Structure 1
Amino acid sequence: MKTIGLIGGISWESTVTYYQMLNRAVRARLGGLHSARVILNSVEFKEVADYQSAGDWDSACRIMVEAAQSIERGGADCLLIGANTMHKCAEAITAAVDIPLIHIADVTAAAIKEAGCKKPLLLATRYTMEQDFYRGHLASRHGVNAVVPDDDARTVVHDIIYNELCQGIVTPLAKEKYLNIIADAVQNGCDGVIFGCTEIGLLLTPDDVSIPAFDTAHLHAEAAVDFALS
């Protein structure tokens, strides 16, 4: 079994879920007492979040690169960035290490195309919804044209992620707000929804919505286990 490297802590709430999913996937495939080989570097999220809000992505990416290099030195065979937003640093990371990066947008796009969705809604942090590093990757690499909600809805989605989900707060009201945004998107022709922040799976499950839902953290973990067991 190969060793999976995971940059976590962004936020640690979803890192816990990643660790569970990686180990459960290995146990489901191999049975018994089998578990995943994982090297985790958990960064200090407050530092990263401050750099994000200041628009200082060079400093945020420096933290990510250092974490990736530490994981590689530890003996990992592949690398996961345990957050959609921090895939903004994917190019800097791949340039700094020799082990392969399993890109969360690649595995998400594969699932979207397999499901036959043509107009998926992307729910994520404002950075992921509004900047080109994620939607552009989906479109240019895979021909997947994700749409985002209007500005007011983007604010709601973003604020719930940072002010609630990343701090372990999960409420029925937040779930209702997300479901209303998804319902509006369905009325406008969306035929799928991307849980484009790894914390959204703490709030919603695919069973909560009437259209195909793509939990990026789950898809990412499954792809990592595919690699580890190949």
Structure 2
Amino acid sequence: MTRPTKMKTIGILGGMSNQATSEYYRMINDLVNQRLGGWEIAETLIQGVNFGNIEYYVRNGLWEESRVYIEEKAKGAELGGADILICVSNTMHRVLDNIEQIVSIPFIHISDPTGSAIKKAGLSKVGILGTKPVMEADYIKQRFKQKFAVDVISPNENDQVIVDRIIFDELVRREITDASKHAYIKVCEDLISKGAQGIILGCTEIFLLLKPEDLPQVPIFNTTELHARAAVDLALT
């Protein structure tokens, strides 16, 4: 093998949350090592943000303020040497709709690898769990519908509050409880009863709590893992 190993540097817009960021870093390095063997891992650049800022912007619906904040971090990642850019938050993709005008490096939208996986599985209607902005807004749902012909349904208002609270109060701190797992399973079962053929884990910490074996009746689409795989695929081409 010629040294240095040829690969693209993956720029990671992280800190949303630090738990998700650490899992992305682990997954990306594990995937590169599985592909290349030996001591090989990925070349990465983590442009972290303060999750306190993100939590404040999201809770208060300050989307333009968060857009300015995230776009500046994206520019920093490119200036730092990233060849590819990913953002570790489904929620913050709401303000990344014009990212191609902000940076010149390829940006991998978190919904696209998941949409491809759902389409490959032959499904046309899935449920989604995530933060309240992800579940109640159209920016994610429209992308799945327009690009992959997949209908996405959300939990009811009360269940959205439960799912969102567990994310912000527990999962971003890596607090995992059986009570919260059972609550998520109940929400998923309600979505399945409404026609969902699969479930999107539309928040990058949810896979820490909900596992495929917890919901054996339908496939689970882990946006974190699928996104990490897409980044590695591009980095190694």
Q: Which runs of 5 or more residues in structure 2 are unaligned?
A: 1-6
Alignment of 1:1-230 (within 5 A): 1-210=7-216, 211-230=218-237
**Count of aligned residue pairs for this structure pair:** 230
1:55 deviates by: 1.2
Report the secondary structure of 1:71's partner residue: helix
Work out the CA distance in 2 between the residues paired with 1:186 and 1:142.
Answer: 20
CA RMSD in angstroms comes to: 0.9
Work out the CA distance in 2 between the residues paired with 1:22 and 1:141.
Answer: 25
Q: Which runs of 5 or more residues in structure 1 are unaligned?
A: none
1:50 deviates by: 0.5
The structure with the greater share of residues assigned to helix is: 1
Write out per-residue CA displacement over residues 77-130 of structure 1, whole angstroms, 9 at most, x where no aligned residue: 110001100101222322110001100111110000001112110001110111
Counterpart residue identity of residue 224, structure 2:
A
Report the secondary structure of 2:86's partner residue: strand
Work out the CA distance in 2 between the residues paired with 1:188 and 1:102.
Answer: 31
Check whether the contact 1:206–1:215 (CA below 8 A) recurs between aligned residues: no
Q: TM-score, normalised by structure 2?
A: 0.95
Q: TM-score, normalised by structure 1?
A: 0.97
1:207 deviates by: 2.5
Counterpart position of 2:3: none
Write out per-residue CA displacement over residues 143-171 of structure 1, whole angstroms, 9 at most, x where no aligned residue: 11110111111111111001110122111
Instruction: Please identify runs of 4+ aligned residues in structure 1 that moved more than 4 A.
Output: none
